[in-house]
Amino acid sequence: MNEIDTATSPWSKVLAITVFAGLGFVVGATLANLLQALGAKLFHFRGSLSQLATLASPPWWSIAATLLGLWIGLVAAALLIVRMRWAPALSGQFRFKIGDLRFVGVGVGAQIVIALSYAPFHVGSKMNVPAQHLFGGAGKFIWLIGLMSVVGAPFCEEVLFRGAIYRGVYASLRVTNGRGAFALALVISASLFALAHSELLQLPGLFFVGLLLGYVVQKTGRVMPAIITHASFNAVAFLVVTIVQHGKI
């Protein structure tokens, strides 16, 4: 990991990283609303943005606008965290190695583990609500929303949650907390990752995935394996929902 700011106290940096991540989410949500308003005019949506937000299956342009706006905020926050030297530089983090393909299996396996973990609680239909919201109204543009969820979301989310937050917290705390820095960085980054999705029922599963992705980054020293794990995890969900709801891919 590259050198980071050593003048600021470790926990002050952790707090700053968390605050900047939160601000990035707020900025992203604001941009998402602006893009949705633009989309509503372009596609002649007869209703307010508040009505649009209540739809169980929003139109594809609404989902695309929401994701794009949020991603801009998340990536901007990550870049600012790195620029402030609260986290190591991102250079080399996205280098691909052929061996990284093994992490496709890790992402698929994570989906299976979560499905089996939730099965005893009989919440299958409720677990499908976020997917219905994301893909239900995509229609013939489901390929676009699928591409955004399988490629765009893993990249942008990993840039912030693992590239900046996990690596920043770990680098900040490892001198004063030793081995505990690893656990603290995992828990903090996974918690923020889970909370950012605003899905109470899926919170435990998202927290587990966040822990797994942080562990992958720690063991490989790069963010790319986490992106591949995240992408394959999302791909399973996309394929299942597409087949169930639309009867085809």
Instruction: Name residue 203's amino acid.
Output: L
Q: Please give the model's pTM, rounded to 2 decimal places.
A: 0.94
Helices (H), the chain: 10-42, 49-54, 60-83, 103-118, 124-127, 129-135, 142-147, 153-158, 167-177, 180-196, 203-220, 224-246
Per-residue confidence at 1, pLDDT binned at 50, 70, 90? Answer: very low
- The number of angstroms, rounded, from the C-alpha of 182 to the middle of its chain's C-alpha atoms is 20
Predicted confidence at residue 241, as pLDDT, reads 81
Q: For 41-97, how does the pLDDT look when each residue is reduced to its tens digit (9 = 90+)?
A: 999 998 888 888 888 889 999 999 999 999 999 999 999 999 999 999 999 999 999
pLDDT average, residue stretch 221-226: 98
Predicted confidence at residue 18, as pLDDT, reads 97
Q: Alpha-carbon Rg of the chain, whole angstroms?
A: 18
Q: What is the spatial distance between Cα 17 and Cα 78, in angstroms, rounded to a whole number?
A: 9
pLDDT average, residue stretch 91-119: 96
Predicted confidence at residue 163, as pLDDT, reads 98
Give 99 or 6, the one with higher predicted confidence: 99
For tokens 């992402």, name the residue: 107
Predicted confidence at residue 3, as pLDDT, reads 66
Q: For 123-166, how does the pLDDT look when each residue is reduced to its tens digit (9 = 90+)?
A: 877 777 888 788 888 888 999 999 999 999 999 999 999 999 99
Predicted confidence at residue 247, as pLDDT, reads 57
Q: What is the spatial distance between Cα 39 and Cα 149, in angstroms, rounded to a whole number?
A: 19
pLDDT average, residue stretch 94-117: 97
Q: For 176-209, how does the pLDDT look when each residue is reduced to its tens digit (9 = 90+)?
A: 888 899 999 999 999 999 999 999 999 999 999 9
Predicted confidence at residue 229, as pLDDT, reads 98
Q: b/e for 219-235, b at 16 or more Cβ within 10 A?
A: ebebbbbbbbbbbbbbb
Per-residue confidence at 246, pLDDT binned at 50, 70, 90? Answer: low
pLDDT average, residue stretch 105-133: 88
Q: b/e for 118-141, b at 16 or more Cβ within 10 A?
A: beeeeeeeebbebbebbbbbbeee
Distances (CA, A) of 248 to 94, 112, 134: 33, 21, 17
